Structure 1
Amino acid sequence: MHRVCFTMNLRPDRIDDYLAAHQDVWPEMLEALRSTGWHNYSLFLRPTDGLVVGYLETEDFDRARELMAQTEVNGKWQSQMAQYFDTGTHPDTAMTVVDEYFHLA
């Protein structure tokens, strides 16, 4: 199992709306994440500037992303979430993976 950390940037004026949207993540989205290999998945936010930090564990992140991109629910979710980001694209394609350089088990 590999640990993956990534960042994304929210539009600062949309932080509250983004957080509200995550209060009730669609059950089919949660199931799609689980079934495509996203485990122990967490999102963190620095509210002062909209920095989102994501963490998950997966066997193969590229494969997990590829499988997720093939699901119908992900397309709908990403279209809904795009309004909160300044990426000009779906947020899941704008993740910046952060290299792990230390881990204490």
Structure 2
Amino acid sequence: MERLAFTMKLFPGQVEEYKRRHDAIWPALKYLLKDSGIKDYSIFLDEGSLTLFGVMKVEDAAVLGPIRDHPVMREWWAYMKDIMETNADESPVQTALREVFYMA
């Protein structure tokens, strides 16, 4: 099991909308993530900088590549692009983080 962490960034004034959309996450998206081996997925917010911090456990990080092309993921990205920084393909701008400490 691998643990991955990354940051993303919200646009100003979009914290509550981001939370609302995730509280009502689409069942198809939740199924896609779980079926791909993603487990224990959390997203935290630094309210001062509007930086989101995501952390997840995944069976094999290689499965994340194909998820990017799944229609449900593409639709979710299009749905979220108005409230957060995104790339030209509508995926969220993400910065992978390197683990420097872990205590089990």
**Alignment TM-score, normalising by the size of structure 1:** 0.87
- Match in the other structure for 1:18: 18
Structure 2 matches for 1:40-59, cutoff 5 A? 40-59=40-59
Structure 2 matches for 1:19-34, cutoff 5 A? 19-34=19-34
Return structure 1 stretches of 4+ with deviation > 4 angstroms. Answer: none
- Identical aligned residues as a percent: 27
CA–CA separation in structure 1 for the residues paired with 2:40 and 2:29: 15
> Number of paired residues?
103
One-letter code of the match for 2:77?
Q
- Match in the other structure for 1:69: 68
DSSP-derived class of the 2:82 partner: helix
Contact 1:12–1:49, Cα closer than 8 Å, also in 2: no
1:7 aligns with 2:7: yes
- Runs of at least 5 residues in structure 2 that lack an aligned partner in the other structure: none
DSSP-derived class of the 1:17 partner: helix
Q: 1:10-61: per-residue Cα shift (whole Å, max 9, x none)?
A: 1122222111111100000000001112111111111222110000011332
Contact 1:7–1:52, Cα closer than 8 Å, also in 2: yes
**Alignment TM-score, normalising by the size of structure 2:** 0.88
1:101 aligns with 2:91: no
